[in-house]
Amino acid sequence: MSSRALYLRDADDLRRNAGQWEAYESRGHCVVLAGPGSGKTKTLTTKLARILHEDVRPPRGVACITFSNECAKELEIRLVRLGIDADERLFVGTIHSFSLTEIILPYAKIAKLGLPEDFKVATEREQALALKNAHRLVTGQQNHAQDLKYSLGRHRRSILDRDSSEWRTVSPEMSQLVEAYEAELRKMGLIDFDDMPLLAVSALKAHPWLRRAIVAKFPVLAVDEYQDLGLALHRMVMGLCFSAGSRLFAVGDADQSVYGFTGAHPELLQRVANRSDVQTVRLEFNYRCGSNIVVASEYALGEVRGYQCPESAHEGTIFFHALHGDYGQQANHLFSVVFPELRNRFDDFKLGDVAILYSAAWIGDAVAQAARDFGLGILRSDANAIYPRSSRIMRWLEACALWCCSGWRTGRPEFSKLTRDGARLFADGLSTPESRLGFQRQLIGSLWNRRERTASIHEWLTGLRAEVLEGLLSDNMATYEAETLHTFIDKCAPGKDLYAMTLEEFAGDGQHNERVTLSSLHSAKGREFRIVILFAMDAGRIPRNGASASEMREARRSFYVGFTRPQDELHIVHSASRPSPFVTEVRQRMGH
């Protein structure tokens, strides 16, 4: 089936929902306010396919900016199903990646950004060194520089105009530290992740010709999860879409904005949606959750939104568990009592159906230990995961490992996809057809010789790094990713905690494919599971003690995000003596 036929088939499905169809048919600037489970990803990807086929003629294309690498990967997977690969006409990635690859790398010199020609992306270690040196220069002190990392990043992201009185008066000491830190990075020939959108916005503001160049290449700008992308992205949208002429198609939900600590401003989405030159569409159906969960989700949010379920929706069930003991004992109760009950209720129950969500990674440690005690596999998505789930290189290596375990027989994943994804990941080092062909040959040879499912992951990764990756890990974005890889390989070395890990465990293949998902509430956003367990929903945890009014609102939105992840069952676990006020309110309003 042709790609045109594929997206037209999906478009026909959108006709059944008036909001989705209105968004699909939009011709000018459009903002889609999409609640949980509303089919926003299908709407977005089908719309992108239509734009590429009908609205934008080659070689011009579309840039789709989203919040994280995981979100970008999900969009890419959906687009591939519509017969569309990310290529020169379609950019899909984070604001950092867009800023680096589409603005900084091509135009840094001509836009006079003050960067050395061979600059690299700083690793965590290099950032720490630059901050330490800057702190010493500004304060004369040697210690506690890293304690300021969070505040420094927030200050950089919140005040974009360095010539403004705000930059000089809000926190002059922090402004001075930021400038010293950035100067230290430049001395080392480096930029960091926060630099990317900041430099890009500065360049776009200063050079009208640059705005015209970006619009010429991407006459349509799509934004996913607009509410989480912060002030720099908003300024970019204002300049490219409402001054330079690019067309905006944005999707988001202010109720699911949970990244205030990184500089997200949910009100920016509403500000764009309220413009007179923007068509605003609200998606009002929840296709994910059972009807009882949809009704109760408004109690969780504390506000009425009027979301509806389709007539065919199942009911969905909510369970409350008031438990005694510490979190380790409560986690033991999950695996000894709740999981057997799930197996009895669902004939086709699988561990992969379940996600256990919590507010902090250290709480996840207690759940992870209990799961190991019960011999259950886990897949963690929090700050204490064995490597960041957002890491592009680790997710690509997982796919390579899966190919070595079973994919070489089944074609899932296809080897051609591994080479395409790898070529994009290491684009800086694979700039010619000859280098890409050489990469493909090296990769197939190395993977073909490493198809032993029970092989040590340490040996597998070490061999692949030496044979294929070594020369590719020193260019821009790959440098930062390389640190994640090297750290994980070290964790798997003889005598280390993960030494016993095998290739199939790393790939999640075979008997190790069934794993319970353990995730922070933040990392669960955008995902769905058959069964969700909200764990440690206690006062002092969500919200935390002493939370400000804005922190209270964000904690409530985090609770709401977790509440709206399940399809069939939601389990809310709290300590019997100190339930979260959010839990108490939901129980009271449900009559429990």
Say if 555 falls within a structural domain. yes
| Annotated binding-site residue numbers for ATP | 34-41
Say if 387 falls within a structural domain. no
Region 57-72: what's the mean pLDDT?
A: 91
pLDDT tens-digit readout, 22-50: 999 999 999 999 999 999 999 999 999 99
488 and 398 fall within a common domain: yes
pLDDT tens-digit readout, 521-562: 999 988 999 999 999 999 999 999 999 999 999 999 999 999
pLDDT tens-digit readout, 81-127: 888 876 779 999 999 999 999 999 999 999 999 998 889 889 889 99
Residue type, 365: D
204 and 337 fall within a common domain: no
241 and 264 fall within a common domain: yes
500 and 569 fall within a common domain: no
Q: How far apart are CA 274 and CA 265, in angstroms?
A: 15
Region 72-89: what's the mean pLDDT?
A: 84
pLDDT of residue 194: 94
510, pLDDT greater than 70: no
From 450, 481, 507, the end of a domain falls on 507
396 and 490 fall within a common domain: yes
From 188, 208, 233, the end of a domain falls on 188
- Mean pLDDT (the chain, rounded): 93
468 and 548 fall within a common domain: no
* Count of domains forming the chain: 4
pLDDT of residue 547: 93
Phi and psi for 538 in degrees, rounded to 5?
Answer: -110, 150
373, pLDDT greater than 60: yes
Q: How far apart are CA 203 and CA 226, in angstroms?
A: 22
Say if 385 falls within a structural domain. no
The greatest distance separating any two alpha carbons of the chain, rounded to the nearest whole angstrom, comes to 68
Three-state SS for 538?
strand
Strand intervals (E) in 85-199: 90-94, 120-121, 190-191
pTM of the predicted protein model: 0.90
pLDDT tens-digit readout, 566-584: 999 999 999 999 999 999 9
pLDDT of residue 313: 83
Q: How far apart are CA 45 and CA 29, in angstroms?
A: 16
pLDDT of residue 69: 84
pLDDT of residue 172: 94
86 and 209 fall within a common domain: yes
Query: What CATH number does residue 319 fall under?
Result: 3.40.50.300
Q: Which pair of structure tokens corresponds to residue 362?
A: 């250290």
CB atoms inside a 10 Å sphere around CB 428:
17
15 and 147 fall within a common domain: no
Contact (Cβ atoms closer than 8 angstroms) between residue 387 and residue 487: yes
Indicate the pLDDT class of residue 471, thresholds 50, 70 and 90: confident
pLDDT of residue 94: 93
Local structure of residue 574 (DSSP, 8 states) = E
pLDDT of residue 86: 67
pLDDT of residue 318: 97
From 252, 283, 314, the end of a domain falls on 283
Indicate the pLDDT class of residue 513, thresholds 50, 70 and 90: low
Whether cis (ω within 30° of 0) applies to the bond prior to 413 is: yes
Contact (Cβ atoms closer than 8 angstroms) between residue 223 and residue 250: yes
Say if 194 falls within a structural domain. no
Say if 112 falls within a structural domain. no
Q: How far apart are CA 216 and CA 366, in angstroms?
A: 52
7 and 92 fall within a common domain: yes
pLDDT of residue 477: 61
pLDDT tens-digit readout, 379-427: 899 989 998 877 889 989 999 999 999 999 999 899 998 998 898 888 8
Buried b / exposed e over 49-78, threshold 16 CB at 10 Å, is bbbbbeebeeeebbbbbbbbbbbbbbbbeb
207 and 180 fall within a common domain: no
217 and 101 fall within a common domain: yes
pLDDT tens-digit readout, 279-310: 999 999 999 999 999 999 999 999 999 999 98
94 and 204 fall within a common domain: yes
**Residue 370 backbone zone (phi > 0: left; psi -120 to 50: alpha; other: beta):** alpha
Write out the residue range of the structural domain in which residue 305 sits. Answer: 291-377+514-590
Q: Which of 155-164, 368-377, 448-457, 466-475 has the lowest mean pLDDT?
A: 466-475
Burial of 415 (0-12, 13-18, 19+ CB in 10 A): middle
Say if 114 falls within a structural domain. no
Say if 498 falls within a structural domain. yes
CA distances from 204 to 99, 210, 240, 260, 269 (A): 10, 6, 8, 25, 21
| Annotated binding-site residue numbers | 34-41
Say if 111 falls within a structural domain. no
The shares of helix, strand and coil residues in the chain, as percent rounded to the nearest 5, are 55, 15, 30
Indicate the pLDDT class of residue 261, thresholds 50, 70 and 90: confident
